[in-house]
Amino acid sequence: MVHKVLSEQGAGGITTTAIRIRESGIERRARFRGLAEPLSLLVALAVLIGVFSLLNERFLTASNIQNVLTQSAIPLIVAVGATLVILLGSIDLSVEGVMGATGMTWILLSNNSRGGADLGPWAWVIALGVALLLGVASGLIFTALKVPSFIVTLGMWYVGLGIATMLYGTDLLPRLEDEGLKGWTSRISLGLPNSFWVALLVIGLGILVLRNTRIGRVTLAIGNSETIVRSAGLPAFPVKVAVFAIAAVLSGLGGILATVQLDIGSPTVGSGVLFIVIPAVVIGGTHLGGGKGGILRTVLGVFLLTILNNGLILSGVESSYQSAVTGAILVAAIVFAAWSQRDRLRVAK
């Protein structure tokens, strides 16, 4: 009896105001948290840039900035796809293989020193088609056969490398002969290198997909809880396959650009990219478990790594110390950038 009276009258007025106060508190806290993480990453980046520009006055010149942007372009493009996959809670290790297969397909179908067919724009279509096939294959094996993405894409890495090596055969290095394309990636248009314009376009599209399309939102939802996605009747299966396909096409695009950049076709055109891309995504603050993170953060992560490499060379750090210094600075940057998101229970796995 007593409860009845209380909950209807005594508590009524108090609770309503309590709710409103709490509701505004929630908003304030959320806004702060949204800013805190990228901010610390930006600070880390700014410190790095500051230190390097003190060590060498050439660091902040237009030509070096353009150089850094050219170097970051390919990892950026690949990292957009990798971010989407990691947001699913999966991982894509196949990037280097896909880059190799796509780059090799493309150059052999373009105007190159080995002769053969010059299909012009169709070379792009077919090469990216190869990437798409590899991505769809990864996605289907991953979703339909429920094989962990780690394993599937590790396999697909070697499938891609195998395709590239087969196409390469034992002939001469295929060199790009198309004068218009040679060196296109690092040419400057409107102040920025062409390849960076491509990267910007990809980043923009990536953000659009993640923020404003069903594929993007369901990707985040799957990363949060696939069980709920399924019980809510959302299309988990097609979205997962689509994300792997998108990631592979972006890796493929990166492979073609890397081939243009180097001017030579090589199965190992993507070597080293995986170890920029995955750390960059993680440094950016995207959780390996999926669901949390974003593309802009990854962009910061890629910049951090590219600037680190460039800056160390420019500031004249002895080459034998470079990898140790890179590692140390990276760990410091991660700890600094991730300070705000430490868990209450401090569980790390």
Partner 1 sequence: MSLKHNRGALVRFAAIAAVAALALAGCTSTASGAGGSSSSGPIAKEDLVLVASVINTTNPYFIANIEGAKALSKKLDIPLEIIDSQGSSQTEISKIQAILAQGKKVVMFVNTVASSDTPTIVDAVKRAGGYVSIWWNKPDNFEPWDAGDNFVAFQKHPGVDSGRCNAQAIGDALGGKGNVIMFPGVQDSTTSQTRVAGFEAEMRENYPGIKILENQPSNWDPQLANQNAKDLIAKYGDQINGVWSADDGMQLGAIQAFDDAGLLDKVKFASDGLYPDTVKLMKEGYGNNAIVGETFHRGYMASAIGLYTAYLAATGEIVPSELPKEKRTSFFDIKCVTPETLGDYLKYDTPTAAADFVDQLVEKGPWDTEPATLIGGGGPEVLPKP
Partner 2 sequence: MSDVTTTPAVLHLNNVSKSFGSNRAVRGVSLSIQPGEVIGLIGENGAGKSTLLKILSGNYRHDEGTIAVNGREVQFRGPADALRAGIGVVHQEQSLFTNLTIAENIEVNTPIGRGGVNRLGLYNWRRLYADAAQALDLIGSHLNPKTRVSDLSFVDRQMVEIARAIRVSAASHTTPLVILDEPTAILERTETAILEREISKLRDIGSVIFVSHRLDEVMRICDRVVVMRDGELIADRAVDDVTEEELFRLMVGRETHAAVRSRRSIDPANSPVISIHDLTRAGSYADVSIDAYPGRILAILGTSGSGRESVARAIFGAEGFDSGSVSIAGYSGRQLSIKKAVALGVGYVPAERKTEGMVGEMPADQNITLTHPGSAALGPFELPRRRLSLARAWFEKLDIRPREPEHMLQDFSGGNQQKVVLAKWLNSSHLKALVLDHPLRGLDPGAAETVNAQIRSVCDEGTAIILIPDTIDEALDIADDIVVMRDGRISGVFDLGHDNPATLDLLERML
H-helix or E-strand spanning residue 86: helix 62-87
Distance between terminal CA atoms of the chain? 51
Distances (CA, A) of 197 to 24, 44, 257: 41, 25, 12
Q: How far is the CB of 240 from partner 2 (least distance, A)?
A: 15
β partners of residue 189: 192
Which residues bind to partner 2, rule: CB under 8 A?
2-4, 6-7, 10-12, 14-15, 18-20, 22-23, 26-27, 29-30, 33, 211-215, 217, 220-221, 223-225, 228, 230-234, 291-292, 345
Which residues bind to partner 1, rule: CB under 8 A?
56, 58, 61, 63-64, 67-68, 70-71, 113, 165, 168, 170, 172-173, 175, 182-183, 185-187, 258, 261-264, 266-269, 271-272, 309-310, 313-314, 316, 319-320
The entry of partner 1, partner 2, none near residue 62 (CB within 5 to 8 angstroms by kind) is: none
Q: How far is the CB of 27 from partner 2 (least distance, A)?
A: 5
Q: How far is the CB of 294 from partner 2 (least distance, A)?
A: 11
Angle at 119 between CA 114 and CA 125, to 5 degrees: 120
Nearer Cβ to partner 2, position 2 or 190?
Answer: 2
The entry of partner 2, partner 1, none near residue 215 (CB within 5 to 8 angstroms by kind) is: partner 2
Q: How far is the CB of 254 from partner 1 (least distance, A)?
A: 12
Q: Are 251 and 99 in contact (CB under 8 A)?
A: yes
> What is the rounded CA–CA span in Å between residue 256 and residue 250?
10
DSSP secondary structure letters along 246-269: HHHHHHHHHHHHHHHHHSB--TTT
Q: Which two tokens stand for residue 188?
A: 């400057």
The entry of partner 1, partner 2, none near residue 211 (CB within 5 to 8 angstroms by kind) is: partner 2
Nearer Cβ to partner 1, position 113 or 340?
Answer: 113
The entry of partner 2, partner 1, none near residue 269 (CB within 5 to 8 angstroms by kind) is: partner 1
One-letter amino acid for residue 346 of the chain? R
Q: How far is the CB of 169 from partner 1 (least distance, A)?
A: 9
Q: Please classify residue 347 by burial: count the beta carbons closer than 10 Å to its beta carbon, then call 0-12 exposed, 13-18 middle and 19+ buried.
A: exposed
